[in-house]
Amino acid sequence: MDSTSNNQPTQSVKLTGSDIVFLLSMVVVVAIVTLLGMMAYKDAMKTEVTKQNGEAWVEWLTKVSAERMKPDYEIAACNAKSGDAIAAEQAAAAAPPAAPAAAGKPEENKEAAAPIDGTWGACLNHIMNNTDIKDLINPFTKERPQIVAQCVPADRSLVGAIVLEKIVPTPPGSAVPTTNSQFVDSDSIENKIQIRVTVCDKGAYPIKVAELEF
């Protein structure tokens, strides 16, 4: 019986240095790809939460839009007060005090005049401190989202912020039908206002959420 084939020595496979380097590099690549994927997922989730913050503003402003035009609307700060009434209150607030401070002694700890009901400043203050909006969290900073003038990619402090702009119609015949501008505290909200809500993403680039009537 020929047993030559059964007596052949078994050859073991040995990894060379280049094989080991290749395998290690593959492990590193897989780890990096996995890590980048996890980071991209987390950033995407933070961006989604930021958009949800903007949607919360849209929901609140839209819900209040019709109600605030009623004379008996319970939130005085956001009520559609007449422009004449606002002007009278602003004039009264700007009037000099009846008893001025003594000469040579500047007033100390003088508080800024509170926003007047029926103006954007008063309404914004109410929204930020007395509604569910106050509980919103910026997922990038873990703090309350800022209300800012615009998203500027060069400014990383604006990541996750919210932009509220008023849309103002332009005169007939203008090249563009509307322009966007920043609110100021003294703006009257007597009439309906078109508002654009935008949020700033992880790069502080703007993401438009919605336009609504308030």
Per-residue pLDDT tens for 134-181?
Answer: 999 999 999 999 999 999 999 999 999 999 999 998 988 888 889 999
Domain contains 7: no
User: Residue 162 is part of which domain span?
Assistant: 18-63+137-213
pLDDT the model gives residue 80: 86
- The whole-angstrom separation of Cα 144 and Cα 207 is 18
Domain contains 147: yes
**Helix/strand/coil for 17:** helix
Domain contains 161: yes
Give the count of domains, the chain: 1
Domain contains 106: no
Closest-CA residue to 197 (of 209, 185, 182): 209
Domain contains 104: no
The position carrying tokens 């949800």 is: 52
Q: Which amino acid is at 6?
A: N
Domain contains 57: yes
Tell me the pLDDT tens digit for each residue of 100-137. 544 444 444 445 567 899 999 999 999 999 999 999 99
Interacting residues of 58 by C-beta distance below 8 A, sequence separation 6+: 197, 209, 210, 212
The model carries a pTM of 0.72
